[in-house]
Structure 1
């Protein structure tokens, strides 16, 4: 078990909840302290003045390259649940030993694979040391230089889930695509290789290459894609009927959206995620009123053939000489393996650089069926929360971390109409009146109830839905299982609240001993609030 001799070094806690995201790890929060950690000390205990273990040391030194040493430990509140899981095997492991890398000079970001466990999903996938995981489940990896996005994807899926992955085999400059727990890696074809017609080589000028891309999302949060930064004119509003009613999520990106939609002089892309219609085939979607039926009269049709990008399958159409110009158009109608939606993509292409951009778009876009989206709201991005405060209710039974900006707080217990105690309660928001009365303000409500043997978790969820009134104002996603490693139960996300992009997330869960029923309701107005939700989930406790 190692050397029985030990070294005791003293220090103080510099920060109780420091950022735990680095280029080689992602922990919800860590304890920053001043007791020097040496190589080989990882896994050693951090103890308080009473000799009680409060954390596990795991990192130290000049981690940020600033010339100042910092030392970190994983707190017991995070470590203990993980230890219990590790007793039964690996935890959130795909069999990859890697770290985040970013090189802005060549536009590279991803998870560099140092080694692979042959007997793992990564080994079966065909991943090799030296590969770079660029994209996982449609999410670009390591753009911030940390493992956060990679670990977040793993934490939001079961170990056996299929995960779509895009990989760069750097030494061969080869792009690969496959699925963990699914299809092995295979080379990614250029869209040009799938164009219909015998003479399917684009007859367009080379154009100036696009070097920078940005990720954009539609207003419902159900379509996400990476487009050239030059295509910075966006229309993320939904597709609507003549009476203005919602039809489907839609996202248009171009240097000039009006020019893209009304002329053949501007490149761009239009993506729509339709609910499936059992009466329509993909050929109907391609040729019908929602498809490319008008192009034959405006362009020279090259044909329509089968399409397969390794995940979405369907049909691809190709038109040239549009409007008497050299502009070419590619249209795709496709569906994922579960046929949960139909995605149509129409791209207007003036140069070879635009075709290269279309390759990037096809490789990056994700579309989620209605009722299953877990994407954060996508209005203004919001200001990221950097500081959090721990709140305890008046009974001392609830604790939770919230952004310091949510400074309007109540910790008074919930009572019935006669003033009798019902449950411990915390609410926090920038403005509590706005939280309770509108969908314009983010915030959280947190309660804990004594378990009732006559009620299931579904019953508790139904009661919360009734009490909050979300069913009359928002669109329901599917009810899904909830498991954060300590609490298990049910969660449901409600979207488009009162016709806004605001979302409301409900969690009803209990610990392993079933000693308490916890209820969380979190209102999300911007993507920054999704980060706050992640922190809330990682920090809340009830007894």
Structure 2
């Protein structure tokens, strides 16, 4: 059993939140060197609008907060050749079913486009518009020093009206990790950018390109652009249709409300990409690659470090959590596609956790709103009242079963889930004592200990035991107890299974239990 796969469990049950310091600048739907492919000329400052485009990405996306939706999100971009090559952000276009483009604020003439090459680590993409004779930008030559006057152009907030804001370069060249990229060369400036500015041009007083805007923070007046040198270093590859440091995801580093990194959330997947072939789906949370925990700081840094070390064409082991199913998957990019992983099977169950059983699950929260767990919707027997232990300690508590009276009465022929948690300062029992009490009870009930191991999921540390042959009816029982990683509370989870379907419930409970004090 490898419970470290499950850093997302608590947040999945009690609600996820984006806790990133920076916000991406694509507007999501809710529910110099010569320009490649063209001549060496380019628009001047007065004509910046004519070469700036608005992009609408239409398709199916999955948000960690809103869930799945089929809609459109808008961002910006800019032309770099007279035959229609344009640059934008990876997070604006990758995974879209269709792209619609408007140039210079023209809302009447809609252009089609296709993605040629992209990079989620650099948050860059090159798209090809319908062939025509377009005005286009060229790149600034020479240094881009601090205090250079710069202008951010684009279409913020999805508005078709063209906008420019003015500022200066406050930091000329710095490395920066954000939830959307891991970059070695970034320009920090104070020309305000907002949602919808993503992928738009940052230009100097002559209208020459100095960078690609990709993130902003209104609170700290911090705006970020991908440095010209970073873009030029990969531009030829992207134009040729080569992806760079990319597996084909539109991803975001995800954190919970306590600022703990959970992994890389997949908003969408490019068809035919390595991620698509591996079976990764929108709404998946990538938790590990090649044994490295991802998104530990809420950014793409860990993910991109693995790609930089091994290369995007290498066979890369991956673990992920599919929140819509409450199930963990394991497999490979450029290798064996991901398959559901049964925690019950890892712990010793003989029939693999019954992953094929079709069961609807619901989230149950206790009366104090401190603990939560997912259980089969058919389990109507619930007890969510505070539990008072023999020492007088009070525990947030949930018991769930098809027959709550029988389950609480010790009937081994009835399945059920029990979860309790209390602040460490007031808890009457330690995790070790919970496990010791369970072992004594289970031993007296004819249970045979099959597995005993340490437990750690990034949010809890403790141990678990797995028992078979219980109660003379062959029931199976998993007992887990642990401290939260910050030591603030103690939690104990028990699952009793008597059928193949119930074994899936063990996986679901372990993938969803949560506590908050």
TM-score (norm 2): 0.40
Q: Which has the higher contact order (CA 8 A, sep 6+)?
A: 2
